[in-house]
């Protein structure tokens, strides 16, 4: 990385000086080397077994998304895109000494983890970390699964610029594999001439969501990972895109979903393709097949955000076809499969008869250029008050012609039905796609009291006012 940065900073051949052939070679961007499947977690600075302590600093950072051009508006946690992988176990305390190296207020939000209200980093005066300021986030890990962190102020801009990181929260009995790969899926909209982050074309993009023209896995469009034929991979996926839904297949390989947003399922669910809306996660098990040298790509197919009958034409800068997200290369060595013995002590158990505390109604008024919840836009959305610590139902009803990924902070839920049908993949979730003119029924134990946000995870919609608060007593 350092080499390619230096190379790009070197002036192009100047004056009469005969270019040095070695220097000239290094002036071309270096291709990303193929990495072996796996990850290196952030360094734990606390020797105690029950505490993981990390340092996290967000600051401007120029990075190459795989085009060979450094993004001058880039941002990063600890100078890495994505930020460091935080690896913790249920029951451990995670302490994060956070420094805000930006020149505006910010926060860290721990998407999906049940944390105390004052650690949630949502938009509250008390939560903000001022420019140049520090804050120690500290909480106990309650939930096993795959989570992520990101700022919760200037969210739509800062995520596009690169601020996101992964959290691997381990269950003591979860399957362990060598090839455990946490991947942030994202897209970025680059100006075709400058290859820099394109400025926001305000109104249209705000309503339609910002779809990018470059797909990235862990911050690069050209990521290559080596795997072994026969070995089991656990592919942990999070969709960090502003608005894009990913619709994924893995060339020639069978995928089984073993965990959703909030942790392990009781079973493996074979799927042909996997759809993840912004904010959603899944862990997918794959037993690799193939011959040494085979290249197998994670492919993304077009997902229309609007109902097919919607009058509004939808434009995707990636085009109508399939596009590769990343490439897996079968190595020379063979591996052995790992059986998926999945932990079952933490599975949802709702009857479907939970009393419904509230029905949220999502809508858009295209002409007025507004998005609403219960007829209002944030901050006027009426707060929802609910009694905590009992099985409680919620309904989210979408009266618009566009998909909305609806996210609750603070309390996880189970999806009972989507348009009247139980979902194929169950388990705990915190973000759910509400299809155009569709309805989802949720149930939660509401075991985490506090004042929590709900919002659409299409970040342009959240910014435009598709957000509010619910109070759990």
Q: Which does 189 bind (CB under 5 to 8 A by kind): Cu ion, ligand C2O, none?
A: none
- In this chain, which residue has its C-beta nearest to ligand C2O? 111
Chosen from ligand C2O, Cu ion, none, partner binding at 455 (C-beta under 5 to 8 Å by type) = ligand C2O
Q: Prior bond to 161 cis, omega within 30?
A: no
Residue 150 or 161 with smaller CB distance to ligand C2O: 150
For the CB of residue 431, give the shortest distance to ligand C2O in the complex, in Å.
7
Pairing of strands 281-287, 413-418: unpaired
**CA distance linking residue 417 with residue 279, whole number of Å:** 19
Minimum Å gap between C-beta 80 and ligand C2O is: 19
For tokens 């910014």, name the residue.
463
Q: Which is nearer to Cu ion, 298 or 458 (CB)?
A: 458
Q: Which of the residues 18 through 57 are near ligand C2O (CB under 6 A)? A: none
CB of 193: closest distance to ligand C2O in angstroms? 32
Residue ranges of E strands in 34-164: 35-36, 51-60, 75-77, 83-89, 93-100, 109-111, 134-140, 145-150
Residue 152: contacted member of Cu ion, ligand C2O, none (CB under 5 to 8 Å, by partner type): ligand C2O
Residue 95 near which of Cu ion, ligand C2O, none (CB within 5-8 Å, type-dependent): none
Determine, following the binding rule CB under 6 A, whether residue 409 of this chain makes contact with ligand C2O: yes
Nearer to ligand C2O, 112 or 175 (CB): 112
Provide the CB-side half-sphere exposure for 176 (13 A, CA).
Answer: 4
If binding is defined by CB under 5 A, does position 461 make contact with Cu ion?
yes
| Closer to ligand C2O by Cβ: residue 412 or 455 | 455
Q: Is 166 in the site for ligand C2O (CB under 6 A)?
A: no
Q: Does 412 interact with ligand C2O (rule: CB under 6 A)? A: no
How far apart are alpha carbons 148 and 213 in whole angstroms?
23
Q: Judged by CB under 5 A, does residue 456 bind Cu ion?
A: yes
Question: Measured from the CB atom, is 403 or 457 closer to ligand C2O?
Answer: 457
Q: In this structure, what token pair is assigned to residue 427?
A: 């388990």
Contacts of 149 (CB under 8 A, 6+ apart): 83, 86, 108, 109, 110, 111, 164, 165, 167
d(CA 130, CA 125): 10
The total number of residues shown for the chain amounts to: 473
Other C-beta atoms within 10 Å of 97: how many? 15
Which of 84, 85, 94, 109 forms a contact with ligand C2O (CB under 6 A)? 109
429 is in the binding site of which of ligand C2O, Cu ion, none (Cβ under 5 to 8 A by kind)? Answer: none
Find which of ligand C2O, Cu ion, none residue 403 binds, CB within 5 to 8 Å per kind: none
Instruction: List the interface residues with ligand C2O, window 351-380 (CB under 6 A).
Output: none
Q: What 3-state DSSP class applies to 97?
A: strand
Cβ proximity to ligand C2O: between 67 and 142 the closer is 142
Q: How far is the CB of 457 from ligand C2O (least distance, A)?
A: 6
Q: Which stretch binds ligand C2O (CB under 6 A): 51-59, 202-210, 305-313, 450-458?
A: 450-458
Q: Does 458 bind Cu ion (CB under 5 A)?
A: yes
* Contact call for residues 201 and 256 (beta carbons, < 8 A): no
Concatenate the DSSP letters of all residues of 176-204 into one string.
Answer: --SEEEEEEEEEE-B-TTT-SBPPP-HHH
Question: Which one among 95, 152, 403, 429 touches ligand C2O, defined by CB under 6 A?
Answer: 152
DSSP state at residue 15: T
Three-state SS across 249-281? EECCCCEEEEEECCEEEEEEEEECCEEECCCCE
Q: Which lies closer to ligand C2O via its Cβ, residue 124 or residue 297?
A: 124
Cβ closer to Cu ion: 153 or 467?
467
Residues 223 and 470: their CA atoms lie apart, in Å, by: 40
Long-range contacts of 123-131 (CB under 8 A, 24+ apart): 123/152, 123/153, 123/453, 124/451, 127/152, 128/153, 129/98, 129/100, 129/105, 130/100, 130/105, 131/100, 131/102, 131/103, 131/104, 131/105, 131/106
Q: Are strands 232-239 and 179-188 parallel, antiparallel or unpaired?
A: parallel
- Which span sits near Cu ion by CB under 5 A: 187-195, 279-287, 400-408, 409-417? 400-408
Q: How far apart are CA 221 and CA 229, in angstroms?
A: 24
User: Taking CB within 5 to 8 Å according to partner kind, which of Cu ion, ligand C2O, none is near residue 456?
Assistant: Cu ion
CB of 123 to ligand C2O, least distance (A): 9
Q: Which one among 263, 279, 348, 468 touches ligand C2O, defined by CB under 6 A?
A: 279
Residue 453 touches which member of Cu ion, ligand C2O, none, C-beta under 5-8 Å by kind:
ligand C2O
The answer to the question of residue 197 lying near Cu ion (CB under 5 A) is no
Partner in contact with 153, chosen from Cu ion, ligand C2O, none, beta carbon below 5 to 8 Å by kind: none
Structure tokens at 72: 């001058």
Under the binding rule (CB under 6 A), the answer on residue 407 touching ligand C2O is: yes
Query: How wide is the angle at C-alpha 254 spanned by C-alphas 328 and 184, nearest 5°?
Result: 50
In the complex, the residues that contact Cu ion under the rule CB under 5 A are 404, 456, 458, 461
In the complex, the residues that contact ligand C2O under the rule CB under 6 A are 109, 111, 150, 152, 279, 407, 409, 453, 455, 457
């Amino acid at each position: 990385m350092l080499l390619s940065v230096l190379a790009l900073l070197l002036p192009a051949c100047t004056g009469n000086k005969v270019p040095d052939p070695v220097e000239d070679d290094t002036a071309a961007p270096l291709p990303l080397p193929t990495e072996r499947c796996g990850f290196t977690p952030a360094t734990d600075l606390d020797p105690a077994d029950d505490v993981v302590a990390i340092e996290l600093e967000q600051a401007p950072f120029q990075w190459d998304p795989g085009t060979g051009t450094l993004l001058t508006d880039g941002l990063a946690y600890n100078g890495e895109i994505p930020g460091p992988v935080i690896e913790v176990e249920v029951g451990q305390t995670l302490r994060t000494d956070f420094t805000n190296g930006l020149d505006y207020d910010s926060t860290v939000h721990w998407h999906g983890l049940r944390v105390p209200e004052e650690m949630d980093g949502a938009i509250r005066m008390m939560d903000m970390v001022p420019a140049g300021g520090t804050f120690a986030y500290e909480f106990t890990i309650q939930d096993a699964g795959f989570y992520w962190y990101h700022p919760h102020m200037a969210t739509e801009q800062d995520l596009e610029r690169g601020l996101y990181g992964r959290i691997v929260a381990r269950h003591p009995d979860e399957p362990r594999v060598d090839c455990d790969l946490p991947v942030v899926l994202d897209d970025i909209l680059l100006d075709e001439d400058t290859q820099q982050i394109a400025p926001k074309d305000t109104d249209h993009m705000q309503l339609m969501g910002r779809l990018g023209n470059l797909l990235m896995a862990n911050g690069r469009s050209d990521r290559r990972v080596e795997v072994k034929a026969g070995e089991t991979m656990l592919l942990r996926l999070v969709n960090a895109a502003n608005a894009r839904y990913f619709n994924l297949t893995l060339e020639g390989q069978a995928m089984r979903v073993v965990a959703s947003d909030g942790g392990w399922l009781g079973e493996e669910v074979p799927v042909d393709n996997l759809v993840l809306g912004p904010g959603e996660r899944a862990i997918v098990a794959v037993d690799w097949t193939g011959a040494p040298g085979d290249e197998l790509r994670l492919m993304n197919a077009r997902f229309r955000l609007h109902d097919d009958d919607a009058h509004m034409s939808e434009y995707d800068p990636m085009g109508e076809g399939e596009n590769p997200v990343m490439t897996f290369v079968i190595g020379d060595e063979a591996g052995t499969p790992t059986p998926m013995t999945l932990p079952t002590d933490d599975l949802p158990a709702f009857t479907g008869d939970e009393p419904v505390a509230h029905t949220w109604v999502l809508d858009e008024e295209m002409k007025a250029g507004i998005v609403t919840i219960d007829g209002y836009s944030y901050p006027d959305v009426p707060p929802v008050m609910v009694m905590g610590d009992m099985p409680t139902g919620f309904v989210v009803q979408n009266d618009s012609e566009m998909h909305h990924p609806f996210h609750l902070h603070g309390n996880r839920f189970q999806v009972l039905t989507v348009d009247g049908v139980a979902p194929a993949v169950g388990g705990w979730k915190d973000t759910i796609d509400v299809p155009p003119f569709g309805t989802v029924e949720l149930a939660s134990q509401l075991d985490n009291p506090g004042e929590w946000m709900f919002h659409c995870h299409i970040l342009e919609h959240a910014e435009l006012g598709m957000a509010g608060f619910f109070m759990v007593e």
